[in-house]
Structure formats: structure tokens, C-alpha cells
Amino acid sequence: MRDVIIIGAGVIGSATARELSRYDLDVLVIEKESDVCEGTSKANSGIVHSGYDAMPGTLKARFNVEGNLLIHKLSKELDFPFKENGSLILALEEEGRKGVEELMERGIKNGVPGLRIVEKEELRQTEPNVSENAVCALYAPTGGIVCPFGMNIAFAENAADNGVGFIFDTEVTDIRKEESESGDIYYKVTAGDEVYETKIVVNAAGVYSDVMHNMVSGKKIHITPRKGQYCLMDKTAGGYVSHTLFQIPTKAGKGVLVTPTVHGNLMCGPTADGADDCEDTATTEAGLAAVMSRGSLSVMNLPRVTITSFAGLRAHEDGGDFIVGEAQDAPGFFDAAGIESPGLTAAPAIGVYLADLISGKLGASEKTDFIATRKGIPGVAEASDEERAALIKEDPLYSKVVCRCELVTEGEIRNAITRTLGARTVDGVKRRTRAGMGRCQAGFCLARTVPILAELLGKSEEEIEKSGHGSYYLDGKIKETL
Amino acid sequence: MAEIKKDLVIIGGGPAGLAAAVSAAGEGVRDILIIERDIRLGGILNQCIHNGFGLHTFKEELTGPEYADRYIKMAEKEQIPFMLDTMVIDLSFDEATGEKIVTAMNRTEGLFSVRARAVILAMGCRERPRGALNIPGFRPSGIYSAGTAQYYTNMEGKLPGKKVVILGSGDIGLIMARRMTFEGAKVLCVAELQPYSGGLKRNIVQCLDDFGIPLLLSHTVVDIKGKRRVEGVTIAEVDENRKPVPGSEVFYECDTLLLSCGLIPENELTNKLGVKMNPVTGGAFVNESLETDIPGVYACGNVLHVHDLVDYVSGEASAAGKNAAGFLLGKTAPENDGTVINIRTENGVRYSVPSVVRPSFMPDTLTVRFRVGNEFRDKNLSVYLDGKQLMKLPKRIMAPGEMEQIILVKSKVEEIVSENGGSEHELIIRVEDKE
């Protein structure tokens, strides 16, 4: 019998695993995809919200504000890219001023520090490219930008370093509530070909969290996947704005954001389209056009240098708030369901909250040998010449550039594959090192990354996949079919 | 960090870098260093195993590797030093000394810098990716740039897919349609957004027509299906505004989508140096000597503007090498008298290389290359200098996929310039109707 099974290795599952790994518990994370951070966690705005948006008293408000504080701290302890660049919520017409004032009031109630209203002149000084139509803005200094992959991966690696088990490519297909002879409730979780017995289940299954919950609880929940489409722009446009620019919703619709990313690109999005398919992460012509046209409302002459576009699905629960905690009619089954925005920001706070409840319930004690810090992969691109020279001296492969656009070396790629919970797919390497994320979008480095993966994983190049489950690149040798 | 000094550093050991090096050495520059990021010299030619290279330069048909080998042999003969597997990561200009500081790294030297009196930029170009085209749909594996597919097929002997749709009729896409057919894949069609091909006519005939592969002009990919691997693409016709025509969509079941939608000069280092760039070409602005606005920094080949034929790359690079040698050895033309001719392109002509000519620095004949922005049939190509018609060349067909050129004769240019007097002159290249 295990202590805890966590379903899903997204940012919520991984944050919870990391917090649970402080305790003397047997924890296993089961993930249906080939890597951590493969669902909603990989395709979102990468924003660390300050917490003015959610209604006071909601779980969204609480975990947002707590999560924001935690990310400031954890980004240093777990070495993932985060920048407190501040958020500006723009009123793009005089009517929007009321919305700005409402948000400020709400933010103060939620405990968001430093909020103030910035008038047109100051706004233009801090953001010279802001739209002429912006009359004022709410300034939230604690808003930030984070690498969503980097944070998720850091949580998972640190959890694994502290003894949490992870299994991938394994889908949970059944969960049954059972009662032992002594009357204790436990669960039988069917995943792949195995049935795991566990005292506690954490449901961090993203857009599938209703499916998991409804297997054991009579109090049904319902998730609607909501598609958000984004355009990511070239680094030449990365400095176009320095803050994250939101829009006060107008009659024309809910706004999109224009933001620098923590890696120096410019990003615009998301749309909010209803989707009925939990796997439908396809972008649409109309969606991408809407992203750019709505983004153009926030800034003058939005640069049109898209290098890639993508869509993610947010898990919207009918009730509108996060569902976090023990299911009423299923003791030991803990939900983290309906985690849509501001879920990325909230993740570490949800992790702490659930770990407290679960460790309390199990009467677990804290480990004495908990490893609180984790070191990321050294990045040659952002290192100083002195740091570069030192890295190369230690391992000459840090001089061998594989990804030219993002200046990623073979040393970094090998590190990404061989470290704790290392990359096993090309996307895994990409999300750990940024190889292939630049303006040529892996046109050059793909053929250099695949052989390194093959060598270190002991596979043939034909077996290397983009993201698992049949996403192969190479289809045999030339002339084989002739 | 170790620091060395060189007279001439050439960034890139592909066709442009090699020809520039050989030419500079031929002029008497000895202290040269070619820095190449790949593990061999020759650049992209190494994966271009089809023939058709060298008709202009060597008067025979060579394959890409054979063509590269000719220049590698010449460089070896001149004993020009080169570094392989070495990446230049920074380029800056020391205004006090006029030196260019090239920062690079490799496995044997680690991180090092070279102070160079002159630099020739020869970094080539890269392919436009899917994201830049904003093709909607899923993001599965099986979407390759034509060059990546070419690398896999020709360098690694591996097939990137078996049932292929190609978007874009750039030359590499056309070449790959034929190559993948040879290697056992089925190429369903080539879709081209524009009403004309982006590649050379001879490639359409030899790579598509000869194999019965349809070229769908005014068509584009509007959706990509397949969560894991490409399962198919939807192709639609586009109207005159390049917008998909509703109802014209056709689904093609395939496992691979190749993209051949244009090449982009790879000018990250040029930008770091702060050279003035031409937004039309994506390369630097250069004068008749192929010199950028930073003295002693030259550009040639695809990093300057994308070429169709390697022969022209070699020619341009030879000129750059010769001019860099002139700069280094002080063999430049008589005192610059300050006279400049600005080249203006209009009425269908998109750009020219060079964009500025100083008559006193001109060789006896100067080749000016350019592209048109649309397909033109039975037109004149007219050239005016200070309002006086210099040339009127009847053209049966001009297309964006084929680079055009004119040759300016120094004596003629100087004659008109001195007649008109003054230091600022204008040369206009334009497309005109036949009378």
C-alpha cells in the first residue's frame, strides 16, 4: 500500500509532489504523457499574476496571492527563470476607468500589495509603445513572468530528488474506493497494466480532473476545456513592452495580453474559445487573427514577427472556482480540479495546502534529509564570458553549439537528458534547454538533437519522438520501400 | 579569454566564405582565418547532392559537394587557415582602433576572441519556419523545412516520411519533391501561395513535371491534422488577396509536410555589430565594394541577399574578398572624391545590391543584382542615371524566383556623372511597359 498517488505531472501535480516530498511518505506520480508539463501547464501565458482579478473569498484569490509570494522565493531555491516585471491593466477607453478602480478595490481586498492607478502620462513614460487609446491603468508591481516549463520541471526534479517516484506514458483508467477489514478507506488505481493500492489520491489531472473525481465521488463536477491561442514573437520584438499589458474587458470582448516572456520574446494571447474535445489543441485561422487584432489594441503597431503559435486548454469547472481539497464523500481523495487561470501562479500554494492536509491526515513527519534546493541546467546563452569559459573548461561540450538561434550547446542538451527525470523526447529537450525554441524553430538543431537523445537513451534515431505516443520523426532508411 | 589578431576573419566556410577567402588570398592577404560552425567546409552545398552547380563558374555541371570541393581545394592550395566546429557568438567594433572583435568558441580553444582588421560576413541563410507562416492546426511531428528533410535524406540516408505534401515552391522544396520521390516517398503535390513559382523554371520542369507532381499555384495549407504525427493537411485555393477561398478546401492524407517558403539571411551577428540593415533583403546595405556602413566589414552570399545560383554567390564573394584585400593592403582606388550614386529601385524592382555606388571605387564593370516583386511578361527593364536612360532591356519574363542583373560600365557612368557635376547622383532601376 502506497501513501499517495498523484495523477498528473503538470504544474499542480508536480508542486504537490514537491511539497509532499518534505514528509516521510511513499509518493508516486502517474502521468499519461511522456514527460512532465505536457498539458495545460505547457501552453499558457506564463504569467505570475499578482492576484487582483479573482473575487475575494474564492480559492482562486487565496491561492493566487499566496502562490505569487511563493514563486518569488521558489524561483531562487529551485533555480527557474522568473522576473517580477509588473503588470499593467489598461483601460482603453474612458469607460474602462471604472473597471480599473473595481479591480484595484478587489485586489486590495485580496491582499495584493502595491496596487496603484497610473495615469496616461506616466503610462506613456513607462511603456512608450502603449496604445494612444489607453487612458489609465492599474499597476500591479508584484505581477511577473515565469518559464512555465522551467517551474514545472523544477518542482518535479526536486520532488524526484527527494524520493518521489514518477511513471510516464501511463494513463489512469480506473479508480475505486475500497474499505479494508479494519474499516480504513483506501483506493485501487488502475494505470496501464498495473493496479496500485494507495491511502491517498491527488487528482491533478487537468482537463480530465472531472473524469477522475467522478469515478469516486457522487458529487459530480464538470470541466469544460477552454482553448486559448497564442502567438509568440521573435526576440527582436522582446523589448517592445516591459510590463505585462492586460486589457480591461470591453463590449468588444475579453482582452488579450501582450507581454515580454521571461526568455525575452514577445507574446500575445490568449483567445477564450469553448472546446468540447480535451485533446483539441489545434490553432485556428480565426483564433490567431483574433489574437493579433486584439493585441493591437494594447500597443501601437504590434510587431508582426510571429515565430510560432500554439493553443492550450484551460480546465474550467462549472462552479467557476478552483476545487481544492478532500472530496466530501471520498475520504483520502484530494482534488485539485478546475485549475484554470491563475492556476500557474497558484500551483505552489495549492501544493503547500494539499501537502499540509495530506501529511496531517496520515500523521506523517518531516524528513530530516529534505533537499530544499535544486540547480537548473547552466545556460550558455545568458552566461557572462567568464562563466562561459569556466563551463567550457569543465566540459568542452559547452562550447559546441547545437541550437544556433537560442545558443544552446551540446553540454546543456546532455545535461537535460541525463539529469533527474531527464528529457526523453525532443520536446523534453526543448523545454529544458530552449533548443528549437528560436526563430528557426528547430529547422537546424532537430537533426543534431535526435542523435544525442538516441545515444544517451540507447535507442535508434527512428525511435526518438517529438513528444511520445507515435510522434516519430524518421520513417526508416531511404530506398527501403522501393 | 585568449585573444589573437588577424588581418581578415571570414565568418562562414560555405561557398561565399570560401570564394571570398580564395580571392583575398589571391590578392596577397596572408593572415586569414575562416571560422566555420559545421564539422566540414562547404556549407549547405554538402547536402545538395543534385547536379546543376557550376555552369557559370566552371562551365560544367557539378553536384553541390563537387562544387564545394573545387573551392576547398583552392583554399587548401592557398593554405588558408580555417577552424571547424567553431561558433562565432559575438561581433563588435572597436571604434578606437577600427578593429572588429570576433568572439567564438570551440572544443579545443574554448572561448576566445579575434581582433581583425577586416571581416567578411558569409553566414548564409536559414529557412522560414511554420510559425512564421502562421499555419493553423495541430503541432505534430512530421513538419520539416525542406532543408531539414534534405539533410536527413542526403546526409543521414533516412527518410523523414513516406507520403508528402510540400508547401512553397522554393528551389529546395522543388528539389526535395524529386529527391523524396527517388528515395521511395510519394509526393502528393506542391502548393504555392503566390500565383507564380518561387523557384527556378528549370526546377519546376525537372523536379515536378518530369515526375507528374502537381504544382498548385494560388493554394495554401489552411489546417494541419494529427495530434502526434501529421495525419493530413487541408489545402485551399487563395484569392488575389492571398486569402483562402471558402469551399475550395481539399484534404490530403499524408504523414509529412515540407515547407519551402523562403529563406532568411542569418544576420544575428551583423545586428550585434550594429550594421545598417536593408529590411527588404534582410541583409546589410552595401556599397559597390560590398562593404557595409562599418569600414572593413564586407558581406556576400546569402547573408547579404538570397541567391538562386551558387555561381553568383561565388562571384559576389570573390569581389568581396578582393575588395577586403584592397582595404587591408591599401590598394584602394584613388582618393574618394566624395561622389556617390544612390540606386533607387521602383515600379516592380524590390531592391538592388549594391544600393550605393562610389564611381571612383568601381571596377571597370560592376554587376548590380536585384529581384522583381511580381511576375512580369514582355516588359522593358529600364535603367536611368541622373534622368538619362542608360539601358532599356527587353525582357520576355521576369519573376521573383529568378534574380536579375545589370552590368554598369565604369567609363560610361563616370562620363555621365562628370557631365552632370555635383556629388550626389541617382540611378533608377524600374520595370516599364514596352511602347
pLDDT at B333: 55
- Contact yes or no for A308 and B162 at CB 8 A: no
- Contact yes or no for B158 and A285 at CB 8 A: no
Last residue of a domain, which of B317, B332, B347?
Answer: B332
Domain harbouring A103, CATH code: 3.30.9.10
* Residue A133 and residue A238 in one domain: yes
* Residues of chain A neighbouring B127 (CB-CB closer than 8 A): 440, 443
What kind and span of H or E run contains B313? Answer: helix B310-329
Considering only the beta carbons, identify the residue of A309, A396, A480 that sits closest to B131.
Answer: A309
| Segments of chain B scoring below 70 in pLDDT | 331-336
State how far residue B248 is from chain A, nearest Cα, in angstroms: 15
- Contact yes or no for B228 and A470 at CB 8 A: yes
Mean pLDDT across A401-419: 97
State how far residue A449 is from chain B, nearest Cα, in angstroms: 13
Phi-psi region of B77 (alpha: psi -120 to 50; beta: other; left: phi over 0): alpha
* Residue B134 and residue B73 in one domain: no
Last residue of a domain, which of B241, B261, B281?
Answer: B261
Q: Per the domain annotation, does B82 fall within a domain?
A: yes
* Residue B399 and residue B429 in one domain: yes
* Residue B111 and residue B191 in one domain: no
Question: How does residue A365 score in pLDDT terms, banded at 50, 70 and 90?
Answer: very high
Q: Which residue of B has its CA nearest to A309?
A: B131
Q: Each residue of B240-296: pLDDT tens digit?
A: 999 999 999 999 999 999 999 999 999 999 999 999 999 999 999 999 999 999 999
* Residue A135 and residue A229 in one domain: yes
Q: Each residue of A428-446: pLDDT tens digit?
A: 999 999 999 999 999 999 9
Residues in chain B, how many?
A: 435
State how far residue A446 is from chain B, nearest Cα, in angstroms: 8
Q: Which three cell numbers stand for residue A13?
A: 501535480
Q: Per the domain annotation, does A340 fall within a domain?
A: yes
User: What is the distance of C-alpha B378 from the center of its chain?
Assistant: 27
Q: Per the domain annotation, does B39 fall within a domain?
A: yes
Active centre residues of A (catalytic): 49
Question: Using CA atoms, how far apart are residues A224 and A227, in angstroms rounded to an integer?
Answer: 10
* Residue A193 and residue A235 in one domain: no
Q: Per the domain annotation, does B96 fall within a domain?
A: yes
Q: Per the domain annotation, does A477 fall within a domain?
A: no
Q: Each residue of A99-146: pLDDT tens digit?
A: 999 999 999 999 999 999 999 999 999 999 999 999 999 999 999 999
Question: Using CA atoms, how far apart are residues B309 and B343, in angstroms rounded to an integer?
Answer: 23
Q: Which residue of A has its CA nearest to B127?
A: A440
Considering only the beta carbons, identify the residue of A288, A306, A475 that sits closest to B162.
Answer: A475
* Residues of chain A neighbouring B156 (CB-CB closer than 8 A): 447, 461
Q: Per the domain annotation, does B376 fall within a domain?
A: yes
* Residue A236 and residue A296 in one domain: yes
Report the sign of the C-alpha dihedral through residues A442, A446, A448, A453, in that order: positive
Task: With beta carbons less than 8 A apart as the criterion, state whether A12 and A336 touch.
Answer: yes
* Residue A204 and residue A325 in one domain: yes
* Residue A357 and residue A292 in one domain: no
Task: Please name the residues in contact with B25: beta carbons below 8 A apart, sequence gap of 6 or more.
Answer: B32, B75, B78, B80, B321
Q: Each residue of A20-78: pLDDT tens digit?
A: 999 999 999 999 999 999 999 999 999 999 999 999 999 999 999 999 999 999 999 99
* Residue B230 and residue B138 in one domain: yes
Q: Number of folded domains in chain A? A: 3
| Among B252, B256, B250, residue whose Cα is nearest residue B236 | B250
- Contact yes or no for A474 and B159 at CB 8 A: yes
* Residue B137 and residue B222 in one domain: yes
Q: Per the domain annotation, does A50 fall within a domain?
A: no
* Residue A230 and residue A135 in one domain: yes
Task: With beta carbons less than 8 A apart as the criterion, state whether B49 and B154 touch.
Answer: yes
Considering only the beta carbons, identify the residue of B103, B141, B268 that sits closest to A472.
Answer: B141
Task: With beta carbons less than 8 A apart as the criterion, state whether A328 and A314 touch.
Answer: no
Q: Per the domain annotation, does B342 fall within a domain?
A: no
Considering only the beta carbons, identify the residue of B127, B159, B244 that sits closest to A476.
Answer: B159
Domain harbouring B223, CATH code: 3.50.50.60
Q: Each residue of A200-218: pLDDT tens digit?
A: 999 999 999 999 999 999 9
Q: Number of folded domains in chain B? A: 3
- Contact yes or no for B1 and A281 at CB 8 A: no
Domain harbouring A154, CATH code: 3.50.50.60
Mean pLDDT across A346-366: 98
pLDDT at A276: 78
Last residue of a domain, which of B261, B292, B315?
Answer: B261
- Contact yes or no for A385 and B1 at CB 8 A: yes
* Residue A312 and residue A324 in one domain: no
Q: Per the domain annotation, does B346 fall within a domain?
A: no
pLDDT at A253: 64
| Residue B412: domain span | 356-433
Q: Per the domain annotation, does A441 fall within a domain?
A: yes
Question: Using CA atoms, how far apart are residues B57 and B39, in angstroms rounded to an integer?
Answer: 26
* Residue B269 and residue B255 in one domain: no
Considering only the beta carbons, identify the residue of B134, B244, B266 that sits closest to A288.
Answer: B134
Question: Which three-class secondary structure state does DSSP give residue A26?
Answer: coil
* Residue A131 and residue A233 in one domain: yes
**Residue B384 main-chain phi, psi, to 5 deg:** -120, 140
Question: How does residue A370 score in pLDDT terms, banded at 50, 70 and 90?
Answer: very high
What percent of chain A is modeled with pLDDT above 70? Answer: 99
* Residue A393 and residue A414 in one domain: yes
Beta-bridge mates of residue B9? B33, B119
pLDDT at A250: 72
* Residue A107 and residue A162 in one domain: no
Q: Where are the beta strands (DSSP E) in B99-139?
A: 99-106, 110-121, 125-127
Q: Per the domain annotation, does A367 fall within a domain?
A: no
pLDDT at A482: 86
Q: Per the domain annotation, does B209 fall within a domain?
A: yes
**Residue B290 main-chain phi, psi, to 5 deg:** 60, 30
State how far residue B400 is from chain A, nearest Cα, in angstroms: 22
* Residue B209 and residue B251 in one domain: yes
- Contact yes or no for A443 and B153 at CB 8 A: no
Q: Tell me the whole-structure pTM to 2 decimals.
A: 0.95
Task: With beta carbons less than 8 A apart as the criterion, state whether A266 and A241 touch.
Answer: yes
Q: Per the domain annotation, does A453 fall within a domain?
A: yes
pLDDT at A252: 63
| Residue A129: domain span | 87-141+224-316
Count how many pairs of residues, chain A against chain B, have C-beta atoms within 8 Å: 148
* Residue B273 and residue B156 in one domain: no
Examine the pLDDT at A255 and tell me if it is beyond 90.
no
* Residue B119 and residue B216 in one domain: no
* Residue B379 and residue B291 in one domain: no
